[in-house]
Every structure is written in C-alpha cells, then in structure tokens.
Amino acid sequence: MKIKKYTRVTAFFLAVCTVLLMLPLSVRADEYWPDGVKTQSKSAIVMEVNTGTVLYEKKSHEKHYPASITKIMTVLLAIENCDMDEVVTFSADAVFKNEGDTSHIARNLGEKLTMEQCLYAVMLESANECAYAVAEHVGQKLGGDYRTFIDLMNKRAKELGCTDTHFNNCNGLPDEDHWVSAYDMALISAEAYKNETFRMIAGSPSYTLPKTNKCKAEYPCHNHHKMIYPFRGDSSHLYKYCTGGKTGYTTVANNTLVSFAEKDGITLVCVVMDAATPDHYTDTRKLFDYCFENFQALNISENDAGLAKDNGKNYGVLNNSEPYVKLDEDAYIIMPKGAQFSDVSYKKTESAKGKKKVARLAYTYAGHEVGSVDIVKTGAKVKDNYYVNTDSGQKKNERVIRIDPAWLIVAGVVIVAAVVLLFLAKRAYDNFYVIRHQRKTKKNDKMRFREKKRKKYNRRKDRFF
C-alpha cells in the first residue's frame, strides 16, 4: 500500500512539472548599456534632449572654462524675457569693453538693432558686444543692470539642476570665476533647444543684418559651427543630422562645442570641452554616430499596453465615455537597441507640473533614467446625454441612465450564480437532519450486528465447554 501511495505522489509531481515546462516563460534579458566609444576631449557628454537620458559621458561633472558656449544661456534668457522686436541700444560698455577682440561685428555706440537681430549675431558670429548689449537690455528691463542679468544666469542654472556652474559674464571671456561642467552645459542647452525661436536661430547657416542708424551697409552673418555651415570654406565637418549648435574658443578654455542632432525620432545634444583642434568636431561626429547606431526611441503609450489600457478604460463614465486621463502620447524612452520595453522599471514621482497633468511616471533601465511620461487630463466631462429625457410617458424633467449592455450581462451572471449558491445552501440545510439520522441508523445497525455476532459466538463456546 505504501509503495502504491508513493507511486501516485511521484506521478502527480511529474505531471505538475510537465505542465510547468509547457508554460511560456518570461525571461528578463541582462541589462546592458553601450559603452564602446573613445574620445580625445578632456570632458564630454551626450544627452537626449527630451528625456534627459545620458547616453555617454566622460568626466561630465568636471569644471571647465566654457568660452563662447556661455552665450547659449544668454540667448535663452533673452528669449524668455523679451519680444524679438524690442530695440536694443548699444552702450559704451557694450562697444568698448569688447574692442580688439576677434569675436565681434563692429557695432557702434548708440547703434540700434532688434533683439532678434542681436541674437542671430550672438549665435552665428559669436558677437561679444551684441551679447553684452542683450544682457544690459534684459537687466534694465528687469529693473536692474548688467549684473542683474548675470545673477539671472546663475539663478536659471540652478533651476535647471546645474550644480557645477558659476557664470560671471554673458559671453564667456576668460574669467577665473566663470566655469561650467559638460553635464550642466547639456542641461542648459537641452532647455534652450526646446524653445522654437532658439532652434530657428541656432540652426541657421546664415543671416543678414540690415542697415541700421549707424551702419549704412548690410552685414552678412555666417554660422561658425562647421557641422552646419562650411565656415571659411571648410566643408570636411558637415554633418547632415546636425540641426544647430554653438562654438567656443579661448586660449585658457581651448575648444568647446555644443551640437544638436536629430535622427530616427531621437534628439541629441553633445557637449565637448577642453578639446584640441579638430578633436571637438571629430569627437562630436563619432559620438553622434555611435549613439544613433546603438540607441532607439520607444513611444511609451504605444508600448506600455498595460498602462495605456488602464488609463483608457477605468476612468470613463460607466465604461462608455472618453477617459478622464491618459498617457502623454508624445512621450518616449531611450533604450539600447535590442532591449525590450518590458525590461524597464517605472515608478510614480512627484506630481507633474501643469494644470492638465495629474502625475508623472519615471522609467529606468540598467541604472539609467531613460525617460518619463505625464498622466494628463483629457478634459472629458459627463455629458447630459448620459441622463437623457424621454418623451414616451415620462415627465419633462425625468431622466434615465444609459447603461452599457455588457454591465447587464455581468450583473445577470452574478445574480444567477448567487441564486444557485443560495439554492445549494438551502438544500444542504434542509437535509441536514435526514443525513444525520441516516448516519445514526447505520451506526446502530452495525452495533446490533456486532452484538448478535458476539452472543452467537458465546453460545458456541458454552456448548463446547
């Protein structure tokens, strides 16, 4: 008997194992992050603009002199605080404090340009006097002066999360108290690139300044960034995916370069600092190519079926209306090619900023923040046609509720199941005493049989003796 029992247990165990082996297994791939590119620049970083994902970094928190890439912050603040048709008047400080420097376009005392014209000169020709005039104009507009603008630069940097930055001028001229890290410069540049006006200016190959009150000839501006425009006839560094950027150079800073590029739904900003010529261009191209070849953008709402279903189903009115909230349809994450969306982890972060934003989900993979998505309100409201008037025998203000037929089917199934359970319970209760009597009767019959058998045995025993 024991052998048969153990045999049955073993057979059952083997059957369970067989069933488990037949089930599809969900295997999580080993998380990896591409890191197979080398650069010559002392410090470098590649960041995806819209997600903030860092795809590559090399001593990215090391502080360096930024040179003229400083002007990205100057232009950003001008766009955020001014209209493009505002008139900027050049002061003595703007004109003469930059006299003799190669990065200027020879503006005159009292000359007037629009803010838009100044910003083109700043980004394309790296005009120091134009950057200074812009800083003075914004500072005065805010009720202060040039130093007010510098304070604003540092304040804005902190708002963007910069921790290795201190600005002391608006144009990047050598200053021991003026420094920034590649990581912080990427944060500043990514924020600037999200602005449409900045993108238009920073990506222009050329621009012509018109005649002014002090200059009777037009002034042609050409972008010094050689991945955008063949400056001084050098077309060897042109890069078809490059959409904007800013150059920088001083003897103490060496070459610095900020570049933007777009391909396959990914927008990258690359920052290289303290680079020899032409390493700032060759490193940037190498990094762009490497990142575009090894990373991909995955739309969150299209790939996260679970979240999309939940947010599209559970917030409607009686499952028959537009959902109240949904995932931002434009949000995406950056993943190494070959990795699956199911490999990422996410968690709810602090409430998203904005009236229409309910919350934010942050995604991580292989120890990297790869993107986030806002849960946003759709603006859906309970419509009156969910409570409709009828003209067939009902009062004027009487309303009825429209219910999805699927809910009626579910309710019917639940009611039938409840009735069946109640019937079975009632049946068991009614037969309780009958069943107990039958068991007692059977027990008494067994006792009488045993007693009768015992008496018969005793009679035989007495006769024998």
**Same domain assignment for residues 264 and 123:** yes
In this structure, is residue 76 part of a structural domain? yes
150 and 84, same domain (yes or no): yes
In 3D space, the residue among 184, 212, 220, 149 whose CA is nearest the CA of residue 59 turns out to be: 184
Same domain, 257 and 276: yes
Backbone angles phi, psi at 46, to 5 degrees: -125, 125
Catalytic residue among 126, 189, 259, 301: 126
The answer to whether 373 and 300 have CB atoms below 8 angstroms apart is yes
Residue 116 lies in a domain: yes
**Do 232 and 275 belong to one domain?**
yes
Instruction: For residues 250 and 321, state if they share a domain.
Output: no
Instruction: Pick the catalytic residue from 41, 60, 71, 372.
Output: 71
Residue 126 designated active-site: yes
Both 312 and 290 in one domain: the answer is: no
281 and 390: one domain? Answer: no
* Domain contains 186: yes
What the block records as the tokens of 171 is: 């144009």
pLDDT in tens, the chain (465 residues): 444 444 444 444 444 344 333 333 333 456 889 988 999 999 999 999 999 999 999 999 999 999 999 999 999 999 999 999 999 999 999 999 875 456 889 999 999 999 999 999 999 999 999 999 999 999 999 999 999 999 999 999 999 999 999 999 999 999 999 999 999 999 999 999 999 999 999 999 999 999 999 999 999 999 999 999 999 999 999 999 999 999 999 999 999 999 999 999 999 999 999 999 999 999 999 999 999 999 999 999 888 766 545 544 444 444 445 566 778 888 999 999 999 999 999 888 766 566 667 788 899 999 999 999 888 777 666 555 544 444 444 444 444 455 556 666 777 777 878 877 877 777 777 676 666 666 767 666 666 666 666 666 566 555 555
Domain end marker among 402, 419, 436: 419
Known catalytic residue at 353 = no
Between CA 226 and CA 277 the distance in angstroms is: 12
| CATH code, domain with 267 | 3.40.710.10
Q: What percent of the residues of the chain are helix, what percent strand, and what percent coil, each to the nearest 5? A: 40, 20, 35
Instruction: Determine the structural domain holding residue 133 and report its residue range.
Output: 43-294
Q: Can 259 be counted among the known catalytic residues?
A: no
Q: Does some domain include residue 221? A: yes
Out of 246, 267, 294, pick the residue that ends a domain: 294
271 and 327 in a single domain? The answer is no
CA atoms of 17 and 29, how far apart (whole Å): 24
Identified catalytic residue from 68, 91, 181, 259: 68
- 429 part of a folded domain: no
Distance CA 184, CA 394 (A): 69
Same domain as 322, residue 260:
no
- Last residue in a domain, options 260, 275, 294: 294
246 annotated binding-site participant? yes
| Residue 379 included in any domain | yes
Task: Say whether both 340 and 197 belong to one domain.
Answer: no
Is 161 within the bounds of a domain?
Answer: yes
In the numeric block, the tokens 């409607």 are attached to: 316
Number of domains in the chain: 2
